Structure formats: C-alpha cells, structure tokens
Structure 1
Amino acid sequence: MELVIGKGISLVEFGIFEAEAIQKLGKPDKSFTTDAQCKRLQYFDLRLELSFEPENHNRLGWIEVHNPDCQMFGRQLIGVQQGEVLDFVESNCNEEPEVEDYGSMESAFFSNCCLELQFEFGKCSNINFGVLYNKNDEPVW
C-alpha cells in the first residue's frame, strides 16, 4: 500500500464518497460518526481508517494508516525510530513539523503536506493525512 500526499493511498483517493470506498474495499469492520459529524470507516485487516467530512460534502478527506506495510515516499515508516522518520519526512516535505508532546504520544504535523505522524515509545505508530487545499481554501481533489 502506497501513501501519496494529497492524493490518498493506492486503494482509495481523496474525494470519493463512502459508497465508492465500500465498493473498492468491501464492508468496513466498524463504522461510526464523530462529534464533528465525520463518518469513519475502519478496516481491521488493512489497519486503515477513512474519514468522510461533512464540510466537504461527505467526501473522503482524511486517512489514518496504522499498517506497517504502508510506504510513503517509497519507504516504510511505521515502526521506525522517531528521529529517522522525522529526518526522512522533513527532507521529502521540505518543511519542519510542529511537534506536540501529549505524554504517552508525540505528534508531528507538517502543515504544507497536511500530514501528521504519531509516535509512541519513540517509534512511528501511525500516519494521518488529508486532502490538500488551494488558495481559496477549497479541497484539491
């Protein structure tokens, strides 16, 4: 599975509707709605969560990846040491992240890439990323 910034993953692309995701990936193992009214679909075997956002007409706008086989910029990052991951992503995104420490977890956000990396126990635990927006604050599908 390949993660492509601003596009999606090899299985699904940003901008599709829930029915299209289900057609491509099958019935999710779990679905729920967040407090912000985002519809979330979880696929346990893929270790993947898709978020359909009401502010974007319920299109896929955010993907959360926990699958260690997933690659970004041609490399697997989940399970890799934090410093190594941050150096690699900084060089590919050409920006330094905003890092927040939540105690048991650290988050590094790359705003230009709409990319969040989460770290637990010093290693990348998951990759979250979203659709990119243009100058008019509209999603670039």
Structure 2
Amino acid sequence: MKINLKSGIGQLVFGMKEKDVKAIYGEPTRQFKDDDKNTIYLYNKEKIRLTFYADEDFKLGYLIAAHPDLELFSVKVLGQNWESLKKVLEEKGIKGFDKETYDSEDNYFNEANWAIFRVEFGEVIRVELGAIINSKDEFDWKF
C-alpha cells in the first residue's frame, strides 16, 4: 500500500465518497459515527480506518493505517526505526516534524503534508494522513 502524501493511500484518494470506497474495498468490516457525526469505516484486512467528514458532504478526509505493507518512497514504513525513516523523508524534502508524546508513543507531525507518524519504542507503528487545507482555508480535494 503506497502512501501518497497529500492525496491518500493506495487507491484511496481524499475527496472520495463512501460509494467510491465501497467500489474498491466492498463493505467495511465495521462502521460507526463519531462524536462529530462523521462516518468512520474500518477495514480489518487492509488495517485502515477512514473518516468521511459530515461537514464536507461525507468526503474522505482522514486515514489511519497500520498495514505492514505501507510504503513511502519505496521504503516500508511500519516497523522502521523512526530516525532512519526521518532521514529518508528529509532527503526527499519532507522536513519539519513537531513531536508530541503520549504515554509510550511519540507522534511526529508534518503539517505541510498533514502526516503523523506514530512511533513506539523507536519504531513506526501507525501512519495518519489528512486532506490538505489550502491557502483559502478550504480542503484541497484530490478526487
């Protein structure tokens, strides 16, 4: 599963509607509404969580992925030592990470790409991607 910064993961593209996602993956393993009335899809096989924003006509706006085959710049992400991955990212021009620590996890957030790399015990365990907000303070939908 290839991470496409600013766009999505694999065939999933920010701005898709629920029907577009179902055409690719079928029915979700589980679905529910969060506190903001957004629709959440969980796909166990793909190890991905999708958020469709209620305020944006239920467009796909956020992804959380933990699939072992996640790749970025042809490098496997999960299980990768954070410092090694960070070096690869910086070589590709992805710089500027804000670090927040929660219990045993460190989250490294890159605002320019709206990406969070969740790290525990020095290794990446999960990746979160959000749709980019443009200079007009609107989502930059890719689909």
Q: Same fold (TM over 0.5)?
A: yes
- Write out the 4+ residue segments of structure 1 that deviate beyond 3 Å after TM superposition: none
Q: Does the 8 Å CA contact 1:95/1:110 hold for their aligned counterparts?
A: yes
Inter-partner Cα distance in structure 1 for 2:137 and 2:63 = 19
Inter-partner Cα distance in structure 2 for 1:35 and 1:93 = 36
Query: Deviations along 1:60-96, whole A, 9 cap, x unmatched?
Result: 0011110010111221111111211222223334322
Look up the match of 1:39. Answer: 39
Using the TM superposition, name which of 29-38 and 123-132 deviates more. Answer: 29-38
Counting aligned pairs with the same residue, the percent is 23
Shift, 1:21, TM fit? 0.7
3-state SS of the aligned residue for 1:84?
helix
Look up the match of 1:50. Answer: 50
Matched, 1:14 2:14: yes
Look up the match of 2:107. Answer: 107
Look up the match of 2:131. Answer: 131
Look up the match of 1:122. Answer: 122
Q: Which runs of 5+ in 2 are unaligned?
A: none
Inter-partner Cα distance in structure 2 for 1:39 and 1:92 = 34
Inter-partner Cα distance in structure 2 for 1:93 and 1:35 = 36
3-state SS of the aligned residue for 2:36?
coil
Matched, 1:5 2:5: yes
Matched, 1:92 2:92: yes
AA in 1 matched with 2:139: P
- TM-score (ref. length: structure 1): 0.93
Q: Does the 8 Å CA contact 1:4/1:73 hold for their aligned counterparts?
A: no
How many residues get paired? Answer: 141
Q: Which runs of 5+ in 1 are unaligned?
A: none
Inter-partner Cα distance in structure 1 for 2:53 and 2:92 = 27
Inter-partner Cα distance in structure 2 for 1:92 and 1:54 = 34
Query: Deviations along 1:5-64, whole A, 9 cap, x unmatched?
Result: 111122211101112111211111111111122211111111111110122221000111
